[in-house]
Amino acid sequence: MFRVDGHRYCSMPPTTASIDVADDEPSQHPNASGKRPMGSGTREGTRRAGEHLHRVRRALLQWRANTRKRDYPHSCFTGIALLPDGPLTTIASNRRLKAFDDLRTVLSTSWAFVDTYGEEVLALVKKVDEEDKDIRAMKTLAKRQATDAAKAAQSQTTDTKPTHVGARARGRPPKGKENARQIPGMSCFHISELSIPSPAAPTAPVYLPSTGQFINFAIPVSASASLPPAGQFINFSF
C-alpha cells in the first residue's frame, strides 16, 4: 500500500508524473493580465531525484551498515536484513514519507524493522533534506551573484564606450569655408591674420619719364612739382 494524497492508498507506488501533478497545476490567483500562471516551483516536490536522491540513498546505505555493526556486531546477517533495498528505495525517493505513521502504513509488510528503526531513519532523511536545501540555496545565491556581476560588467562597458564628437574634438580639419582647398603653388591664409605694412615714402625725387618732371614724395606734392596733365599715367614700376 502506498499513500498518494494524504488519505487514499493504492497497491502500486505512484509514478513521478502522477505524484507531481499538483506542482504543475496553474495558480488559483490570476495575475495582472487575467491569466493563471503555473506554480512558481517554491513548493517542495514529492519525489527526490538527481543528486538529492543520491545523497539520501548513500546516507541510508551507510546507516544500515553502521547499525548492523552497532546493534548486531556478532550476528551473521548483513545490513540488508535491517533495511532491504526495496524499502530503502521507497524511503529515499518518496518525500511524503515524513511522519512515522505514514512510514509504517506504507512499509509495514515489506520492512520488518519499521517499528524499531523507523523514527531513526526518518530523522536521518530529514537531516539530509535540510542539507540539500542549504546546498540549493547556496547555488541559487552564487548564480544570482554571477548574474549581477555580469550585468554590472556589461553596464560598465557600455558607459566607457566613446561618444560621438565633432571634427574639431577628433583633430580633423573642419569642413566649409574654414577648410578651403589649397591650390598648388599658392598659400592660404586668413585675412584677419595678415599684417600688411604701410609702404615707406621715397626720400629721393622720382623722375617721371613721361613728363620729364621729378616728384619728391618726401614733401607734399604741391610744394615740389606739378602733376602731369590729366589723362596721363604715372609709372611707378621702374
Residue-wise pLDDT tens digits, 125-146: 999 999 999 999 999 999 999 9
| Residue 211 lies inside a defined structural domain of this protein | no
pLDDT (0 to 100) of residue 47? 92
State the alpha helices, DSSP H only, in 72-189: 85-93, 100-107, 114-159
Range of the domain at 81: 47-148
Cell of 226: 606739378
Grade residue 194 by pLDDT with cuts at 50, 70 and 90.
very low
| Residue 193 lies inside a defined structural domain of this protein | no
Residue type for position 51:
E
| Residue 94 lies inside a defined structural domain of this protein | yes
HSE at residue 187, side-chain half, CA atoms within 13 A, is 4
| Residue 15 lies inside a defined structural domain of this protein | no
Q: pLDDT higher for 165 or 158?
A: 158
Lowest mean per-residue pLDDT among 20-24, 76-80, 82-86, 171-175: 20-24
| Residue 33 lies inside a defined structural domain of this protein | no
| Residue 2 lies inside a defined structural domain of this protein | no
CB 107 within 8 A of CB 84: no
| Residue 55 lies inside a defined structural domain of this protein | yes
Tell me the C-alpha distance between 177 and 152, whole Å: 46
pTM: 0.48
| Residue 93 lies inside a defined structural domain of this protein | yes
CB 96 within 8 A of CB 102: yes
The CATH number of whichever domain residue 76 belongs to comes to: 1.10.150
Cell of 199: 609702404
State the alpha helices, DSSP H only, in the chain: 16-19, 50-71, 85-93, 100-107, 114-159, 221-224
Q: How far apart are the first and last CA of the chain?
A: 134
Number of domains within the chain:
1
pLDDT for residue 69 is more than 70: yes
Grade residue 17 by pLDDT with cuts at 50, 70 and 90.
very low
